[in-house]
Structure 1
């Protein structure tokens, strides 16, 4: 039996600069986000039959320690680590458990307590999982540091050389996402910057300035998922949001075909999106709101093409036309995205889920887009995994 899967409750913490909230440890974050999600769902933790808990930096069984803040009911708790796509991977696994009929209610929770500054390796005595990607990029691009902005910046440079995009196109994406976040009380940054300020910010890796790069962050997000019988039995149809398509892909052989965009996941993104469009029966223009993985502005621009919002090479036109902000065809990253909302790795995918759930319910406050009947989520982790999810209101048919 294949069950329909619904998001019935979401919650998150405000994303913060690492260490900004004194004595705020990951169990505190998980308790806050998880309690908010359960309250939003209107169910107790005792209703949850499995929990999938994501984090990148932490000791083994930190997932158990985190959800013990919500209750100790003996249920299976699965620890999840999939780089920057960890939160959406937890969501994928929880949805899979519900869809298969294994459980009728599951929790996906993610958190991160990060160190300030650029991401670094935890273990130096073994092969780094990204080494093959880094070596492949080094063969076609001058090596830069830190690694993450170099990798995405190199893909941006490749797009500039092939398709004529300019530093201003990338900067305008940064400007848009900072502008969107001014209305998000959960965002790490709520400051608005002019295009000139974005361009004049310190250069991290040309063409990416500091205000086009996601920061390290502390925070947590959570989602409660349930099957259709659980939704009906508990009278949750009015608030439920259906996951109508979901796919996860990992690297293909084409990742190492000599192009920077594939090294940062282009084909993973394309294939995951295609699967979701087929599952949901929806196409790119059916989604009014999109939360996508703008770890760097260059990645957002490349994702316009990978997700099918436009043909290859046409993403600069979308930027110029304002097609991805309020008044355009889509509202992309109304939350402020990773660039401005923040990027606590394990929580990012679940914060995206929360934002889209609020948008579909019409409860996103000053961020609310008009006419949201369907929403699309994209989250990626290099090394690698891409997760794409389509959502629709459960009661859309009346």
Structure 2
């Protein structure tokens, strides 16, 4: 029988620019210690650890965790592009739910370099060769950075189909900064206006520089356990993972001719549907969501992919303020990837931390009222989408 999986503790470090950040091993240690302290357990209580990062050598997870303890437990290193942190969480949740382990750590960190994401190896095929081929066929060639070309192209295609104004995408960046102003973990907390967003240097399609997430460094972690372990050790039992799904690409990603599919729209939609169906919770029940806003265009697309608003209605959803405080569902109260930052391996677990704080009522000025369930959405091109539903227990 499957076991209920509790999130006993979460922790993260303030995200930082590559110029000001500490090294990945220090970041990972600090996030782990914060999560253990929040849970009220020692490292010796952990039975397994899953550690996510994208840029690093093969046992960076051990290098970070050995700074906390060396108990001989299995440490599994995970890389699933920008969904790496949530992939580590997915594996940790499976270990606890199946009964393979009663207390497990999920850790994600990233020490990034300045500038746009690029391939690290020039002597072998990249996982994006097929994506590049499809993107060029649909959109034509471009010298823009790879990710901006994909996500900007998807936004341009959506705007052409539904008449979306450039100002609509810019409003998402403005909202992200407004939310991040109340998050001490976020990198970019100064307000911006729609005019400033649109006046920033153009990147690709509707995207300008202020509509693209910055390369940042950081770490976040979560301690998961079952109910028996929590009772034996006197841990809190107020937040659980109610449902979770991971999906990968299907033929439609490459064969549909839809730029949205190339950036994970279909993966996200499938994962969200699985979560809704298995949990009995629908998008209409949500009051708070952390979703993958690597670009403003992807936040808009994701509103529809995960069912927050019907297809073609995202502009009205934004104009009505239904994506922020006072509206129907607060999206990215943390400031999201656009303002909090996007250290690839840490992102999914930072989203987890934010939503756990929200459900506990510990989010301070960011607190969303009356949230009893919370949805997390994290994607990685190449590809994987992880959607996780958390619930507040009585």
| Structure 1 and Structure 2 fold alike (TM over 0.5) | yes
2:85 matched residue in structure 1: 87
TM superposition shift of 1:142: 2.5
1:66 matched residue in structure 2: 64
2:48 matched residue in structure 1: 50
2:386 matched residue in structure 1: 387
Whole-angstrom CA distance in 2 between matches of 1:41 and 1:58: 28
Deviations, residues 143-184 of structure 1 (Å, cap 9, x unaligned) = 331111110000001101111111111100111011100000
SS at match of 1:346: helix
1:376 matched residue in structure 2: 375
Within 5 Å, give how 1:72-221 maps onto structure 2.
72-144=70-142, 145-221=144-220
1:323 matched residue in structure 2: 322
TM superposition shift of 1:241: 1.1
Q: Is the 8 A contact 1:98 1:105 kept in 2?
A: yes
Q: Is the 8 A contact 1:6 1:394 kept in 2?
A: no
Whole-angstrom CA distance in 1 between matches of 2:253 and 2:231: 44
Q: Is the 8 A contact 1:143 1:150 kept in 2?
A: no
Q: Is the 8 A contact 1:51 1:108 kept in 2?
A: yes
Deviations, residues 53-77 of structure 1 (Å, cap 9, x unaligned) = 0000000111111111111000000
2:221 matched residue in structure 1: 222
Deviations, residues 63-113 of structure 1 (Å, cap 9, x unaligned) = 111111111000000000000000000000000000000000000001000
2:16 matched residue in structure 1: 16
2:258 matched residue in structure 1: 259
Whole-angstrom CA distance in 1 between matches of 2:229 and 2:276: 26
SS at match of 1:372: coil
Whole-angstrom CA distance in 1 between matches of 2:311 and 2:226: 38
Whole-angstrom CA distance in 1 between matches of 2:167 and 2:75: 46
Whole-angstrom CA distance in 2 between matches of 1:237 and 1:184: 24
Whole-angstrom CA distance in 1 between matches of 2:123 and 2:242: 43
TM superposition shift of 1:358: 0.2
SS at match of 2:72: coil
Deviations, residues 40-65 of structure 1 (Å, cap 9, x unaligned) = 00000111100000000000111111
TM superposition shift of 1:278: 1.2
Q: Is the 8 A contact 2:174 2:192 kept in 1?
A: yes
SS at match of 1:149: helix
Deviations, residues 366-387 of structure 1 (Å, cap 9, x unaligned) = 1001111110000000000000
SS at match of 1:140: helix
Whole-angstrom CA distance in 1 between matches of 2:185 and 2:82: 19
Q: Is the 8 A contact 2:155 2:205 kept in 1?
A: no
Whole-angstrom CA distance in 2 between matches of 1:157 and 1:25: 37
Whole-angstrom CA distance in 2 between matches of 1:393 and 1:157: 38
Q: Is the 8 A contact 2:154 2:297 kept in 1?
A: yes
SS at match of 2:30: helix
Whole-angstrom CA distance in 2 between matches of 1:236 and 1:76: 23
Bigger shift: residues 139-148 or 319-328? 139-148
* Number of equivalences: 392
Whole-angstrom CA distance in 2 between matches of 1:157 and 1:45: 48
Provide TM-score, normalisation by structure 1.
Answer: 0.97
Provide TM-score, normalisation by structure 2.
Answer: 0.98
What stretches of structure 2 of length at least 5 have no aligned partner?
Answer: none
TM superposition shift of 1:285: 1.5
TM superposition shift of 1:19: 2.4
**2:245 pairs with 247, 253, 256, which one?**
247
Whole-angstrom CA distance in 1 between matches of 2:141 and 2:39: 48
Whole-angstrom CA distance in 2 between matches of 1:242 and 1:212: 33
Q: Is 1:2 the counterpart of 2:9 in the alignment? A: no
Q: CA RMSD in A?
A: 0.9
**1:30 pairs with 28, 31, 54, which one?**
28
Whole-angstrom CA distance in 2 between matches of 1:236 and 1:164: 51
Q: Is the 8 A contact 2:39 2:236 kept in 1?
A: no
Whole-angstrom CA distance in 2 between matches of 1:285 and 1:235: 34
What stretches of structure 1 of length at least 5 have no aligned partner?
Answer: none
